[in-house]
Amino acid sequence: MFIGHIAVAFGAKKYAPQVSLGVLFLACQLADIIWPNLVLLGIESVTVEPGITAITPLNFIHYPYSHSLIAMTIWALLFAALYVGLQRAGTRVAVVIALVVASHWLLDFVTHRPDMPITFSAATRVGLGLWNYPVAAIVTELSLFAAGIWIYVRQTQAKNRAGSIGLWSLVIFLLVIYGANLAGPPPPSATAVAWSAQAFWLVVAWGFWLDRHRTSRD
């Protein structure tokens, strides 16, 4: 899942308006920010196997430190604690941020084939396999994305032209990336996958920038 995760970040703005959209982008994709680096370090592994699911050609062989339920619970608590420590935010904000980080596991659990580890040992791996049902997977992901954007647009308003152009160009950019991933050829290698995943930092930077050009409606 890609834009479905980002939908959670947009929607979370309603529940923690003071938290920058950039922080929420970091939170929703924290697992997929950690993961490519662990792949490049050789600690986690993925291979490209076209046909392994109808949607993604990635075979997630070993990723308990970025994607197990226990690891993501720990990352959620650490990230929320770090934010609260740096920003002196309250409990409500901490809970929202932790839930956004943890939501990544839940959404991946729905989409991935049974490759999502529960613990570090990865003895039990689960997944509902929505990626084997392309139409349902795409409809689910686009619906989530639309709902997230809708909540965000009702919660915030542009302070200036950059605030509206920046938002809608980001929405189009994310949809184009999603479409290109669906329609494009499989990536040439696991290393290529890991490097291209680093492009998410651009979206994070966009979130921080956009947040300064929009304000809460209430």
Query: Which residue's CB is nearer to Zn ion, number 68 or number 156?
Result: 68
User: How many CA atoms within 13 Å lie on the side-chain side of 30?
Assistant: 27
Residue 91: alpha-carbon gap to chain centroid: 23
For residue 164, the minimal CB distance to Zn ion (Å) is 30
Among 2, 16, 68, 108, binds Zn ion (CB under 5 A): 108
For residue 85, the minimal CB distance to Zn ion (Å) is 26
Query: Which residue's CB is nearer to Zn ion, number 5 or number 13?
Result: 5
Write the CB contacts of 161 (distance below 8 Å, at least 6 apart in sequence): none
**Residue ranges with strand state E in 8-155:** 45-48, 58-62, 116-117, 125-126
Residues between 4 and 63 that touch Zn ion (CB under 5 A): 31-32
- Please tell me the distance from the alpha carbon of residue 149 to that of residue 171, in angstroms, as a whole number: 8
Query: Which residue's CB is nearer to Zn ion, number 12 or number 31?
Result: 31
Our CA angle for 110, 49, 116, nearest 5°, is 30
Stretch that binds Zn ion, among 74-82, 103-111, 130-138, 164-172 (CB under 5 A): 103-111
For residue 40, the minimal CB distance to Zn ion (Å) is 16
Which residues sit at the interface with Zn ion, rule CB under 5 A?
Answer: 31-32, 108
